[in-house]
Amino acid sequence: MLPAVPFIHRFVFSRAIFRRHSKLHVKVIFRSTFGRQVMDSESEKVVQEGKAQILLLSDKNVFYNPVQEFNRDLSIAVLTLCSEDHRAQTNSEDDQFTILEALSASGLRSIRYAKEIPGVKKIVANDISEKAVASIQENVSRNGVEQLVSTSHDDAVMVMYRHRRPTERFHAVDLDPYGCPSQFLDAAVQCVSDGGILLVTCTDMAVLAGNCPETCYTKYGAISLRVKCCHELALRIVLQCLESHANRYGRYIVPLLSISADFYVRVFVKIYTSPAIKLALVYQCVGCETLTLQPLGQEHKYGEKPNQFKFTLPHAPPVASTCVHCGHRHHIGGPIWNGPIHDVEFVSRLENVASCGEFGTKKRMQGVLAVVREELMDVPLYYTLDRLCSVLHCETMSMMQFRSALMNCGYRVSLSHANKNIHQDRCTCQRGVGHHEALGKTTPCEAGQAPGGGSSYTVPGARNNCQHGAETRCKSRVS
């Protein structure tokens, strides 16, 4: 057996040398989950996504995140519709669509915008990093879009402030920072043209989801709550922050699409010049977790013109000192955006673009947009069925059974793209418990036992006379 040892050592050593040298001389092509990548060597990497192909050099430390291909695909679909609407409204070849990507990094997003969005006149790809700008210039030349994409080496805030004049504003501004975008929002809401679109990504979900309420207030001007609907709450906090910045300059936002995906939230809003307010505080019961909204203003129509409204002070508080359902106290969060977070008509058109387009995440886009279109636009926030059953000490039923029972009683119910195990509805806490009773699904709570170790919960009106069955209803929403 001894003579075989040197042979084994030589074999292993030879394989190691072959692997090391093959990385330098052999081009390896592979298809990942998020796009096609071509590895040229250890020091450079070519990434192909959509119609764009970019070169990433390790010595330039340019950031590229393949997970956000869904983000970029969705942005292209949204901006394609916005560009079409702009052309239909202006009917002018001179006033074509302009885009600012304030934090461009590798330039991939801007290059894809130039090659995949029709009717674009100019795209400014800005970054504060000199190495990133050099990489953007190289990738722009590599893709042959020099006539559309111009690079900028500057602070993103200063670039946007220099385009505050109405004649110099962009039709679309894209902000995709690392973490919180709040430092850019004041400038962003000013450099978007009237009726233009602002695209914002936030990746600091720990802050928005309630882990750090004081930090959330510092960054977004709102207090986050630790609730099951934290993903939608995060979207509404971001929309509130955008609305607050816009209101300072006599402007307001209209959300087109608001998405919670992976590790981030992404909002698409149009900016208009006119005062408006759609904000509210959130009261959360610490016992049964019932959510109640307190609008910061009430809108009243006056006069004969359709756009004549008067805002008055709200009547407060909307809740008693203790919860009427379980007797516990409340936590206060917000303010949040309490209006619709999607535009149903726009989402329907977006579905057609996603179906006809060539996107790497096409199936995911279609699935998310289909659920978004079915969401209840006039119902802020949502509840999770498992948490509701846990609070009430009820045996968990299927989501289909629970939704069918509510819909058979005439309530509107929908799912949410943010969480597959949740439901939105116009149903009171008493009615929800009543459905469990009517279906024979309630498990009585033992004496002195309640969630969190407190006293037993009593929900007035829980045992109502609801005799509606749970015949299966296929639709997730009833008008």
How far apart CA 314 and CA 298 sit, in angstroms, is 6
- Residue 39 resides in a domain: no
CATH number assigned to the domain comprising residue 208: 3.40.50.150
pLDDT at 187 over 90: yes
What's 378's DSSP letter?
Answer: T
Q: Are residues 365 and 391 in the same domain?
A: no
428 near 290, Cβ under 8 Å? Answer: no
Q: Are residues 349 and 404 in the same domain?
A: no
Give the pLDDT confidence of 35-73 residue by residue, as tens digits: 554 444 555 788 899 999 998 776 556 677 888 899 999
Candidate ranges 28-37, 275-284, 309-318, 360-369; pick with highest mean pLDDT: 360-369
Tell which wins on pLDDT, 257 or 31: 257
Q: Are residues 365 and 392 in the same domain?
A: no
Q: Are residues 358 and 406 in the same domain?
A: no
- Which of the four pLDDT bands, split at 50, 70 and 90, describes residue 343? very high
pLDDT score for 234: 94
Place of tokens 């990942």: 32
Q: Are residues 167 and 271 in the same domain?
A: yes
pLDDT at 12 over 50: no
Q: Which of 17-21, 81-85, 148-152, 331-335 has the lowest mean pLDDT?
A: 17-21
- Residue 397 resides in a domain: yes
- Which of the four pLDDT bands, split at 50, 70 and 90, describes residue 30? very low
- For residues 193-217, average pLDDT: 94
Q: Are residues 95 and 240 in the same domain?
A: yes
What's 223's DSSP letter?
Answer: B
pLDDT at 474 over 50: no
| End-of-domain residue from the set 323, 354, 374 | 374
Q: Are residues 363 and 432 in the same domain?
A: no
Which range marks the domain in which residue 449 is found?
Answer: 383-453
- For residues 79-93, average pLDDT: 87
pLDDT at 86 over 60: yes
What's 394's DSSP letter?
Answer: B
- Residue 53 resides in a domain: no
Q: Are residues 138 and 224 in the same domain?
A: yes
- Residue 462 resides in a domain: no
How far apart CA 208 and CA 441 sit, in angstroms, is 35
Based on the structure, what is the number of domains in the chain? 2
pLDDT at 470 over 70: no
- Residue 32 resides in a domain: no
Grouping H, G, I as helix, E, B as strand and the rest as coil, residue 120 is strand
Mean pLDDT of the chain: 80
Give the pLDDT confidence of 236-274 residue by residue, as tens digits: 999 999 999 999 999 999 999 999 998 999 999 999 987
pLDDT score for 18: 38
240 near 229, Cβ under 8 Å? Answer: no
- Residue 256 resides in a domain: yes
pLDDT at 464 over 80: no
Q: Are residues 105 and 122 in the same domain?
A: yes
Tell which wins on pLDDT, 477 or 413: 413
pLDDT score for 155: 96
Cα distances (angstroms) measured from residue 83 to each of 79, 186, 248, 437: 6, 24, 27, 53
Q: Are residues 108 and 198 in the same domain?
A: yes
pLDDT score for 477: 37
pLDDT at 467 over 90: no
- Residue 76 resides in a domain: yes
Give the pLDDT confidence of 279-332 residue by residue, as tens digits: 899 999 988 888 889 888 777 777 776 666 777 787 778 888 898 888 889 999
| End-of-domain residue from the set 352, 374, 396 | 374
pLDDT score for 398: 82
Q: Are residues 238 and 351 in the same domain?
A: yes
Q: Are residues 129 and 250 in the same domain?
A: yes
State percent of the chain over pLDDT 70.
75
pLDDT score for 197: 98
State percent of the chain over pLDDT 90.
46
How far apart CA 344 and CA 369 sit, in angstroms, is 10
Tell which wins on pLDDT, 279 or 463: 279
- Which of the four pLDDT bands, split at 50, 70 and 90, describes residue 346? very high
Q: Which of 197-201, 206-210, 393-397 has the lowest mean pLDDT?
A: 393-397
pLDDT score for 439: 46
Cα distances (angstroms) measured from residue 448 to each of 190, 312, 386, 441, 454: 57, 46, 22, 21, 7
- Residue 395 resides in a domain: yes
How far apart CA 94 and CA 97 sit, in angstroms, is 9
Give the pLDDT confidence of 93-134 residue by residue, as tens digits: 667 899 999 999 889 999 999 999 999 999 999 999 998 999
pLDDT score for 204: 93
| End-of-domain residue from the set 374, 397, 422 | 374
Concatenated DSSP letters of 13-55: HHHHHHHHHHHHH--EEEEETTEEEEE--SSEEEEEETTEEEE
pLDDT score for 28: 31
- For residues 9-34, average pLDDT: 38
CATH number assigned to the domain comprising residue 392: 3.30.56.70
